[in-house]
Amino acid sequence: MPKVGFIYYTKTDITGALVLAAIAELKSSGAEVFYHQIQGSEIIEGRFVNAEVFESLTNCNAIVFASPTYMGGVAAQFKAFADASSEVWGSQGWSGKFASGMTSGTALNGDQSSTLQYMVTLASQHGMLWVGLEGSPQNKMIDRLGCQLGVVSQSDGGQVDDVDLASARHLVHRVVNLLR
């Protein structure tokens, strides 16, 4: 059974809700899951420091990146993790693995796709293979906001839309099916 890793930062827990929905879906299907929520205490002098997390992610077949969109990009906490991943990049420890991404924002179009594009670039630098959604305008059950690159959620009053949660579950099924 494939092992999927999740590395994420969440402040208001909207991004966290997407990740936890995806994790629950994977666990119910028997997939092995590793997940880690980035904590401020792990960022020392601007850099994420947690060797065990990098080792665990290197032992995964796929990695899902998740961060809220702040000012058109990933949160600073996620960026600190991404910058620290350069040590894994040096050994190409994630090369050939699948990657995917999730983000959330409060605006209907708050440049969330820019956050996913950053994650695609990060994955590409690591030699990873990006997996997006394959939703269509006819399928109203996933991809409510029409972003094929990954899961984009827009919260209203601190609540995650059910379609956005379904999109997170759908995306990880796609990743696991590709791994098989």
Which helix (DSSP H) or strand (DSSP E) does residue 24 occupy? helix 14-28
CB-based contacts of 168, cutoff 8 Å, min separation 6: 18, 19, 21, 22, 25, 102, 151, 153
pLDDT digits (tens, 9 = 90+) for 28-83: 988 999 999 999 999 999 999 999 999 999 999 999 999 999 999 999 999 999 99
Residue 32 bridge partners (DSSP): 3
Number of domains in the chain: 1
Q: Are 14 and 104 in contact (CB under 8 A)?
A: yes
Q: Is the pTM of this model over 0.75?
A: yes
Residue 95 bridge partners (DSSP): none
86: which 2 tokens? Answer: 């350069």
Domain ranges, residue 61: 3-179
pLDDT digits (tens, 9 = 90+) for 96-144: 999 999 999 887 777 899 999 999 999 999 999 999 998 665 666 877 7
CATH of the domain at 106: 3.40.50.360
